[in-house]
Amino acid sequence: MTKFVTRFGSLKNYEKGHIEIINDMPRNYTFSNVFEVANGSKPYEKVAVGKNLEYVIEAIRAEGTSGWMAASHDEFCIVMDGDVTVELVKLDDAESVAPSGKDGTVAVKGEPKGRKMGTIRLGRGHQALLPKGAAYRFVSATPSVLVQQTILGDLTVQKWAEICYR
């Protein structure tokens, strides 16, 4: 019987992942390490590390305070390392900020106009829904790592040649 060991990584201590190919070609797969990607990213750069049709998983280095963002669809994030606070504002006019049919995360210009919804404090392994019609920003006192599920959009950075096996 094969024994598998789960190892939890962190931004300071990770082992580059790998794929075990069984009777197939490695070029049919992409794989990246979210900690390695976040380690080489600018704060709040949203780097695609997984893609399925129009959906993407982005690795994000959370450090300091991000700009305000929104989407015309629900998104969610999971903290993989560190602590991150999410601040939420219910937008007065979500359609003008993130119009229907505009895929992916969009940057909100200036301070969002609307009612404060509250904050979510996330630690390692915690996830949060980033709801449609709300603006959000991330705050992290120390370098942390998020993965975010969204739809491919203008803020998604694709650098597959740099992060994937060949």
Q: Tell me the per-residue pLDDT of 24-81, one tens digit each, with 9 for 90 and over.
A: 555 444 455 888 999 999 999 999 998 988 999 999 999 999 999 999 999 999 999 9
Q: Tell me the per-residue pLDDT of 101-138, one tens digit each, with 9 for 90 and over.
A: 999 999 999 999 999 999 999 999 999 999 999 999 99
Indicate the DSSP class of residue 162: H
> pTM score, two decimals?
0.84
Residue 122 covered by a domain: yes
Residue 7 in tokens: 């190892």
At residue 163 the predicted structure's pLDDT band, cuts being 50, 70 and 90, is confident
CATH number at residue 45: 2.60.120.10
* Residue 21 pLDDT greater than 60, yes or no: no
Residue 6 covered by a domain: no
Q: Note the maximum CA span of the chain.
A: 58
Question: Count of domains in the chain?
Answer: 1
What is the arithmetic mean of pLDDT over 155-166? 82
Residue 17 covered by a domain: no
Residue 84 in tokens: 């991150």
* Domain of 149, in residue numbers: 26-163
Residue 45 in tokens: 């750069």
CA-to-CA distance for 145 and 62, rounded, in angstroms? 6
Distance from CA of residue 161 to its chain's centroid? 19
